[in-house]
Amino acid sequence: MLGKGKIAALGFQHVLAMYAGAVIVPLLIGGALGFNGEEMTYLVSIDIFMCGIATLLQLTVNRFFGIGLPVVLGCAVQAIAPIILIGQDMGIGAIYGSIIVSGLFVLLIAPFFSKVVRFFPPVVTGSVVTVIGLTLIPVAINNLAGGAGAKDFGSMYNLGLGFGTLLLIILVYRFGQGFSKAIAVLIGLVGGSLFAALYKGISLGPVSEASWFHMPKPFYFGTPTFEWPAIITMILIALVSMVESTGVYFALSDITERKLTQKDLTRGYRAEGLAIMLGGVFNTFPYTAYSQNVGLVQLSGIKTRKVIYAAAGFLIVLGLIPKIGAVTTIIPTPVLGGAMVAMFGMVVAQGIKMLGKVNFTSQENLLIIACAVGVGLGVTVVPDLFNAFPSFVRLFTSNGIVAGSVTAITLNIIFNMIPHRNDKKVADPKPQHAE
């Protein structure tokens, strides 16, 4: 039985795991659209606050919404580029108008989208989860080296700090007992940050500049407008997020040993639709299930929703008190990268575990896995592969997770769901090996 203190520590560990991924979305979008310091502070704070609200929607199970798995929701990274383009071409109002409509779209299609569960046998879900983990590994390695574009990228200091954090997590997990093993990632993040502070110093500027209190304001950036090109774009992004979330749901269902039903999936998609609509109202961004927290659930071995409730509570508090929330932004990038290697690697391991249920004597299944992983990882490594395609097509083809998922689903339909003439078998009236 976990005490309140342990639940709080585990919840905060989940916050640290997803925090960098969550805040990078408003930072990149706000920077590209020329937001000033005050606007950026609001954008980051309300984003973190709404991550907590969105997570609560998924945790709270009722007849209408909530999947009830230990899932954490955060801003969809794949929405960054389209949102920037919409903002530059049609204005800020068009961004939030299209987000609200896309959330309503997810709400309406949830019952129909959940019916595709039969298209997700272990050969598909295992491939998708493996692809999710593999496509996240480059992000972890870039951060471990200092972050893409950093002047000291790959320096001995960054590599030492990143791999040192990873080594600390491994040592705690190997030699720790009970609760300390469960918070190995949190210990690694704290230890790596303390070393960086003592050796090179950490800037406390973001903390001193942040305000003490902040209240969410509906339509902070003005009245939303509704432009069809923007709406269609955000609906496509919502579909991409639903595919990604489906893989996360099945990974968590496997970890928690809970079989998902069509109704469970419908409630999960509805919760995301509500979260997206609220994001549009309070001027944040589309939400999706975060893969990094799947790895943390697997790594810690703690599967209770109480921990995620604690994480959601922390996110809400951090969103209301920007000065406290800013403390988590000063964790050095290599330290985050070192922790991400372990967490994202666990997502890959979970995918491989799910593939263990697949019949590997079937060459068709082997080809499904090979092509799904190959396409997903290939698109991630060479993101410019489909640059000659129209922009709305690139929304799907430029995302390794979606490309790998579509490949796995399509090949599974071709090989395992469409009847083949050669599959017809005539029953033998007599046993071939009579005793």
CA atoms within 13 A on the CB side of 162: 24
- CA 119/CA 287 separation, integer angstroms: 24
What single letter denotes the amino acid at residue 153? Answer: F
The residue ranges of every structural domain in the chain are 4-356
Residue recorded with tokens 């922390």 = 314
pLDDT at 427 over 90: no
Nearest to 42 by CA among 79, 104, 92: 92
Q: Which of 5-9, 115-119, 177-181, 340-344 has the highest mean pLDDT?
A: 5-9
What does the pLDDT read at residue 358? 85
Q: How confident is the model at residue 391 (pLDDT cuts 50, 70, 90)?
A: low
Average pLDDT over residues 168-193: 79
Residue 107: the pLDDT is 93
Please tell me whether residue 223 adopts helix, strand or coil conformation.
coil
Confidence (pTM): 0.68
* 24-32, Cβ contacts within 8 angstroms, sequence gap of 24 or more: 24/77, 25/74, 25/75, 25/76, 25/77, 25/79, 25/80, 25/285, 26/75, 26/284, 26/285, 28/80, 28/84, 29/80, 29/83, 29/84, 29/87, 29/285, 32/84, 32/87, 32/88
For 67-141, strand residue ranges (E) read 73-75
**pLDDT tens for residues 238-280?**
877 787 788 788 888 888 888 888 888 999 999 999 999 999 9
pLDDT for position 435: 34
Highest mean pLDDT among 156-165, 178-187, 238-247, 384-393: 156-165
For residue 304, the number of C-alpha atoms closer than 13 Å in the C-beta half-sphere is 15
> Could you read off the pLDDT of 305-322 as tens digits, one per residue?
888 999 999 899 888 877
Q: Kindly compute the dihedral angle of the four CA atoms of residues 149, 150, 153, 156, in this order, to the nearest 10 degrees.
A: -170
Provide the pairing of β-strand 73-75 with 287-289. antiparallel
Tell the burial category of 360 from Cβ atoms under 10 Å away from its Cβ (0-12, 13-18, 19+).
exposed
